[in-house]
Every structure is written in structure tokens, then in C-alpha cells.
Amino acid sequence: MLRLEGTIANHDGVFEGAVLIDESTGLIDSIEARTGVSDLDTAGCLIFPGFGDIHIHAREDVSGQQCYKEDFATTSAAAVQGGVVQVADMPNNPTAPVDDARYAAKEQLTHKSAVHVTLYAGIGPTTRPLTRHVPYKAFMGPSVGDLFFRSQAELESAIEHYRGRNVSFHCEDPVILEASKGAPTHESRRPAVAEITATEFALYLIEKYELIGKLCHYSTGEGLKLIAAAKARGVRVTAEVTPHHLYFDDAMLTDENRLWLQMNPPLRSPADRIAMIEALRSGLIDYIATDHAPHTIAEKMQGVSGVPLLDTYGAFATWLMAEHGFTPEAIARVCAWNPGRFVKEFLPARFGLGFGKVAAGYIGSLSIVDMKTPWLVTREQMKTKCAWSPFEGVTFPGRVRYTVLEGRVHGEA
Ligand SMILES: [Zn+2]
């Protein structure tokens, strides 16, 4: 039995205690009072339920074409450094998982990952639901890969077949993106109105086809009103926000960092950034999900969109606490509990009550975060295969000291 004592931070409360994990099942056996005996030194730390990043791009598929950027082994090493114990991987691969056979083939590849991987299946113009119960992803506008739609009508004719399913949407309207092609900057070629228009349509689809909907990497303050109104009338929708949309805005762009900080959707205004922080705090936004996009340094210099963020997941959470006053409970909610609820229905039965809470019966995977030791992020420390970070040079107020995976300890970082 692994015994860890310290300050335990769940979404519904913080307390002093001991967590006992049965290494043979990987599940939490019990929570007890502190006795002064702990298998790990957790002084100065918060013991969180393991963090979950439900939007990543690990880049590995059966074609192997993009394994030079990242694979399930390196993405999992980056996750462990970031305190992330479970991830959900997007389907925009060269051999996209859009049917049972391709999904099963990609799933085989995930076994080299130390952290649990849930796979999304892709929705394209001609796809149909899988036999298996899986989450789906629909890319509304052109991004990286081929799974996208040219119009709202084309998207709806595909979604009609997915009634009642769990579908995540990348909200950027393809017609507006096409019309904005000639604008001078990446940010103006992908304007906020593209996300807002796509949000209206995604919410319409979620309601009409009774989907369990999720809006990915949300970035516009204006669109939050639509999400709030939909939630208020009982639409089953949740929303993600990325670390980069919470930390950076378009007023911070310079000639030096512009290419590094290019992603879809792009950085927005300072007011949008603050609106995202407040929506995350209030519960209107449900998850911190990174959209981890491990493109190589050479690709970034050629203008490829996306940034790698798994290595810094937990350290970023300490910034939200120190800089923006997020409580440990709020961090547990958006980094562990809500992501755990999202993947629960797709987990194998041996995972008990699933991820997201330090309590008996849940998976014994924990993120032990040192709140007192600042971390200067450097390129050399990154475990992602693409080997860089948009946070290079940033000093976070804390970092992940240990990541525990089903009772097995990884660290000290
Ligand atoms: Zn993505």
C-alpha cells in the first residue's frame, strides 16, 4: 500500500489527511487521518487528484508519418512532467480514426503511454458513428489535417447521423475564415466573429440532435454569453480553455514571438483573455485543456499553427492560484474533477469510480504540486519530442513535484 500524507485538494474541499493506494488494483483504498508517516515528502505541496488534459494532439497513428513531432511515449513523458495522469487525443491524423477498425488500430499504439489515453473518433463529411461508445470531434473549419467542413450545411448533414453522441466542436466558421484570407495577420485572418458564428451553429446542432456537446479551446468573451444562455436553458454543453488563451493576448505579440505564438484559434484581445479567466473561475468554462500541438521548431518558423503545453500543465495551475487567486478547489475542479467526469463513460471497468477525486474507489493517480519552489521553464527541460515551449523564460510560482500513476510514483521532477 502506498501511503501519502499532506494537504489534499479536491473540488469540494481541502483537508489534511492520508491517502492509501492499493498498488495491485491502482485504486485508492481509503482516506485516513494523518499519523506523521508518509512514503513521499509532500511538505509545501498540495495533493491534487491527477490532472486530466482532455484535448491533446499526440501525433502518432498507424501511418507513423508524424512521429517525428511526437508519439505516445514522448507525449506521456511530457504529461507526467506536467502532473497530467490522463489525456484525450484528437483524431486529425493522416490515418484518421473514423471507423471501428482504424480506431482499434490507433488504440493499440497508446499502450506505450504511461498515462491513460482516451481517443476521440473523427467526424468528416462522409463518416458514421462507431459501434463502440467513444467521444467524437468535429472540426468546423480548416485547421491541421483533412477532417473539416466547407459549410454549415455540410456539417449538419454529417452530424444528423450522430444524434445523442458525445461530440466536441472546433468552433471557427469556414465561410468567415475563407472571406478573411487576405487579412494582414494570422489573428485577423481568423477573427473572433468566426468563433462566435460557429458557436451559434454548434449550440444549434447540440440542442437539435441532443448531443453531449463540448466547445474546444474557447477564446472569445462575446461567445461566452451564448454558452451561458445555452447552459441556462439546459443544453448539455461544456467548454474548454487553453493555458495560452489565459496567459497571452494579442497585445503581447512582437516580431520575435509572433510565429511561436501562432495557433488556431489565435490569441485574442486583453479583454477576451480576462473574460476567459473569469469564466473559468465562475464555472462557465469547465476545463483547462491544452490543445497540446507539438510541431517542430522548423515547422513553427514556417508558420505552422499550434503550441506544446503538456510539460507545463501543473506549473501553469500554480500561476492561476498565485496570480489570479484561484482556490485549490477551483483548480481541482477545472484540472481534475471535470476532465475526469468527461472521460468516465469511456474508461475500462477496472478504473472504478474513475479519475478526478482523492477518495476511496477512485483511481490512485495524483498530481503533487509544490507551491513553494518557482520553476524557470527552459527548452532543455521539455519532454515533448518537439522540444520547445511557449513558456520558455517564464518563471512559474510552483511546479509538479511528483506524479503518481495508479499507485506508482514518478518524479521528483
Ligand atoms: Zn486541437
Q: How far is the CA of 292 from the centre of ligand 1 (A)?
A: 7
pLDDT confidence of 257, banded at 50, 70, 90? very high
pLDDT 10s digits, 370-412: 999 999 999 999 999 999 999 999 999 999 999 999 999 997 6
What is the C-alpha to C-alpha distance for residues 271 and 249, in angstroms, rounded to an integer? 9
Q: What is the pLDDT of residues 163-180, one digit of tens each?
A: 999 999 999 998 899 999
Cα angle 303, 307, 310; round to 5: 160
Looking at residue 149, its pLDDT comes to: 80
**H or E element: which one contains 395?**
strand 395-396
Query: In this predicted structure, what is the pLDDT of residue 144?
Result: 47
Q: What is the mean pLDDT of residues 25-45?
A: 96
* Ligand 1 centre distance from Cα of residue 13 (Å): 32
* Distance from Cα 57 to the centre of ligand 1, integer Å: 6
| pLDDT, tens digit (0-9, with 9 covering 90-100), for 226-250 | 999 999 999 999 999 999 999 999 9
pLDDT at 306: 97
Calculate how far, in angstroms, residue 170's C-alpha sits from the geometric centre of ligand 1.
8
Q: 280 C-alpha vs ligand 1 centroid, how far in Å?
A: 19
* Confidence (pLDDT) at 146: 60
Question: Looking at the predicted structure, is the pLDDT value of residue 140 above 90?
Answer: no
Please give the distance, rounded to the nearest whole angstrom, from the Cα atom of residue 175 to the centre of ligand 1.
20
* Distance (Å, whole) CA 376 – CA 75: 21
pLDDT band at 147 (very low <50, low <70, confident <90, very high): low
Q: How far is ligand 1, taken at its centre, from the CA of residue 188, in Å?
A: 20
Phi/psi region, residue 2 (left: phi>0; alpha: psi -120 to 50; beta: rest), is beta
Polymer length of the chain: 413
pLDDT for 356: 98
Inter-residue contact 396 to 403 (CB < 8 Å):
no
Whether pLDDT at 20 is above 90 = yes
pLDDT tens figures, 61-98 = 999 999 999 999 999 999 999 999 999 999 999 999 99
Give me the percent of the chain exceeding a pLDDT of 90: 94
Report the candidate in 332, 362, 331 with the shortest Cα–Cα distance to residue 344.
362
Segments of 242-308 assigned E as strands: 287-288
All three cell numbers of 327: 482556490
